[in-house]
């Protein structure tokens, strides 16, 4: 297996509606920025991976329609669509392509233009015999498991509100973030509209229009093009059984994420995630899920997530800053969101994270999440 490094990233500013461009133009914007960041010309890209949840826009074959925007014409190109994990799975697919030795340079680009379609309808198109009669969308799905998680692990609405405050304050340092609020407070979060008990408006991620791209390169290419590439130390992906009721206590156990994390930790020699990682960019669609992921990812013991956010150790300046970019709570163009996690983790190693750059980042974690049924984890390392 060949060593693979991330040598460039690019993303649009994520916002509620990009009605000044079409999908292909949105994709071109991020792709061109990533190539410029990697100092590459389009002809130097061997193959392209595209991430998009096409049901949300109702536009078939996005890999064909936006391919030119991703510099894919005349090249191998494929699309990955696995809900929230689409982006991280696309990065992992690109990693596999280069690690195999068959390709040297891969562009991965994810996008979503939620404003053009109907995300809720896309989410509702589940098993026609079972789930459709009782679907409650992503929101209801989350809220259901949260009551169970709170009851078992002692997490409170205030703990969740602290996650929202951290996210929106961090987001205010990130020019790409859709939601930014340097003045976020716990009271503001607890005073926001209740959407699905106990989830409030400010506990949720937005739906954004946006795109994000990364460039992956083989060891020789990466070293010749980049001073300090973000090397992929390990990557893992997990799928689970299909129905909502299949995974017991699903938010509490979060089996898929826990198992993907265990695999990459073993491969990359991570023994104490809170200390061994310098930064983490995790896929937290709600405040409560960030708390649950702290436990699933081993940042703290089971039942200690509330204490961890209280301690401030996941803030910028803490032991392990989690989502210094603002995370999914600040920008969520679904097909791009997982690519953003990988790009933001890589930027911290590349030293290109601007106002939310963490000092001396050598080891970073990026994760993806898709409706409990899918999870991805990736460990990135810079040369010490």
Partner 1 sequence: MSELRTITHEMDLRWEYASGSAMEKFCAGLLERRIEALKCPDCARRYLPPRPFCGKCNTRLSEWVPVADEGVLEAWTVMYLPIVDGRSGEMREAPYGMGLIRLDGADTTLNHYLVENDPANLKVGQRVKAVWRDDLQGAMDDILHFEVLK
Q: Which of 39, 100, 147, 272 binds partner 1 (CB under 8 A)?
A: 147
The footprint of partner 1 on residues 228-287 (CB under 8 A) is 240-246, 248-249
| Residue 132 binds partner 1 (CB under 8 A) | yes
According to DSSP, the β-strands at 374-381 and 230-239 are antiparallel
Continuous H helices in the chain: 23-38, 54-57, 62-65, 86-99, 119-124, 137-153, 157-171, 186-190, 219-225, 250-253, 255-268, 273-276, 287-296, 305-311, 334-350
Which of 64, 102, 151, 182 is in the footprint of partner 1 by CB under 8 A?
A: 151
Are the C-beta atoms of 217 and 225 separated by less than 8 Å? yes
Question: Would strands 77-80 and 47-51 be described as parallel, antiparallel, or unpaired?
Answer: parallel
Does residue 134 interact with partner 1 by CB under 8 A?
yes
In the complex, the smallest distance separating the C-beta of residue 15 from partner 1, rounded to whole angstroms, is 10
Kindly identify the residues of this chain, within the stretch 71-110, that bind partner 1 according to CB under 8 A.
none
Least spacing, CB of residue 170 vs partner 1, in Å:
26
CB of 150 to partner 1, least distance (A): 9
- In order of 32, 100, 124, 235, 265, the CA distances from 93 in angstroms are 21, 11, 27, 10, 19
Nearest 5°: phi and psi at 119?
-60, -40
Using CB under 8 A, count the residues that bind partner 1. Answer: 46
- For the CB of residue 127, give the shortest distance to partner 1 in the complex, in Å: 8
In the set 42, 137, 298, 318, which binds partner 1 (CB under 8 A)? Answer: 137
- Show the beta-strand stretches assigned E in 326-384: 363-370, 374-381
In this complex, which beta carbon is closest to partner 1, that of residue 242 or of residue 354?
242
**What's the closest the beta carbon of residue 200 comes to partner 1, in angstroms?**
10
Among 58, 76, 191, 303, binds partner 1 (CB under 8 A): 58
Minimum distance from residue 140 beta carbon to partner 1 (Å): 5
Which lies closer to partner 1 via its Cβ, residue 39 or residue 127?
A: 127
Binding pattern to partner 1, positions 346-365, x when CB under 8 A?
A: --------------------
Q: Does 23 bind partner 1 (CB under 8 A)?
A: no
* CA dist 256 → 87, 161, 210, 357, 377 (Å): 16, 25, 27, 29, 10
Please choose, out of 17-25, 35-43, 274-282, 315-323, the segment that lies near partner 1 by the rule CB under 8 A.
Answer: 17-25
Token output for 172: 């205010």
Distance CA 237, CA 322 (A): 21
Piece of 88-96, 141-149, 316-324, 348-356 that binds partner 1 (CB under 8 A): 141-149
126 binds partner 1 (CB under 8 A): yes
d(CA 75, CA 45): 9
Q: What is the DSSP letter of 300?
A: S
Q: Which two tokens stand for residue 81?
A: 């669509």
In the bound state with partner 1, the residue whose beta carbon lies nearer, of 331 and 349, is: 331
Whether the CB-CB separation of 71 and 50 falls below 8 Å is answered with: no
Do 193 and 282 contact (CB within 8 A), yes or no? no
Q: Does the protein bind partner 1 through residue 307 (CB under 8 A)?
A: no
Question: Taking contact as CB under 8 A, which single stretch among the options 137-145, 184-192, 213-221, 363-371 is the one that binds partner 1?
Answer: 137-145
Span 191-210, contacts to partner 1 by CB under 8 A: 193-199
Which residue(s) pair with 369 in the sheet? 375
- Verify binding: residue 158, partner 1, rule CB under 8 A: no
**Residue 293 Cβ vs partner 1, minimum distance, rounded to whole Å:** 18
SS3 of residue 303 by DSSP:
coil
- Look at residues 251, 301, 224, 332 and name the one whose alpha carbon lies nearest to residue 7: 224
Directed axis angle between helix 86-99 and helix 334-350, to 10°?
A: 60
By the rule CB under 8 A, 61 interacts with partner 1: no
Residue ranges binding partner 1 (CB under 8 A): 19-22, 58, 120-121, 124-137, 139-140, 143-148, 151, 193-199, 240-246, 248-249
């Amino acid at each position: 297996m060949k060593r693979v490094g991330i040598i460039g990233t690019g993303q649009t500013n994520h916002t509620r509606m990009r009605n000044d461009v079409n999908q292909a133009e949105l994709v071109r914007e991020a792709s061109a920025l990533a190539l410029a960041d990697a100092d590459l010309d389009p002809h130097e890209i061997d193959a392209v991976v595209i991430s998009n949840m096409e049901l949300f826009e109702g536009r078939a074959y996005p890999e064909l329609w936006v391919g030119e925007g991703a510099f894919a014409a005349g090249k191998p190109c494929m699309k990955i669509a696995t809900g929230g994990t689409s982006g991280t799975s696309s990065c992992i697919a690109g990693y596999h392509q280069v690690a195999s030795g068959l390709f040297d340079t891969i562009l991965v680009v994810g996008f979503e233009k939620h404003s053009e379609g109907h995300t809720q309808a896309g989410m509702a198109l589940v098993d026609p015999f079972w789930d459709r009669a009782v679907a409650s969308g992503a929101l209801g799905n989350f809220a259901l498991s949260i009551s169970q998680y709170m009851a078992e692990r002692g997490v409170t609405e205030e703990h969740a509100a602290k996650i929202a405050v951290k996210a929106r304050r961090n987001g205010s340092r990130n020019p790409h973030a859709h939601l930014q609020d340097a003045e976020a407070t716990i009271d503001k979060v607890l005073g926001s509209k209740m959407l699905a008990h106990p989830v409030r408006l400010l506990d949720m991620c937005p739906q954004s229009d946006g795109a994000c791209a990364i460039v992956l390169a083989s060891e020789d290419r990466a070293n010749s093009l980049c001073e300090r590439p973000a090397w992929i130390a390990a990557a893992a992906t997990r799928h689970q059984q299909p129905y909502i009721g299949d995974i017991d206590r699903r938010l509490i156990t979060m089996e898929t994420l826990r198992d993907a994390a265990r695999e990459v930790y073993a491969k990359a020699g991570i023994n104490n995630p809170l200390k061994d990682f310098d930064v983490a960019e995790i896929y937290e669609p709600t405040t409560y899920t960030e708390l649950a992921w702290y436990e699933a990812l081993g940042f703290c013991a089971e039942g200690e997530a509330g204490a961890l956010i209280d301690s401030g150790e996941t803030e910028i300046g803490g032991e392990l800053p989690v989502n210094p970019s603002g995370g999914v709570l600040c920008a969520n163009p679904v097909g791009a969101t997982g690519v953003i996690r990988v790009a933001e983790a890589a930027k911290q190693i590349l030293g290109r994270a601007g106002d939310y750059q963490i000092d001396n980042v050598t080891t970073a974690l990026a994760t993806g999440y898709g409706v409990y049924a899918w999870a991805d984890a990736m460990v990135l390392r810079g040369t010490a």
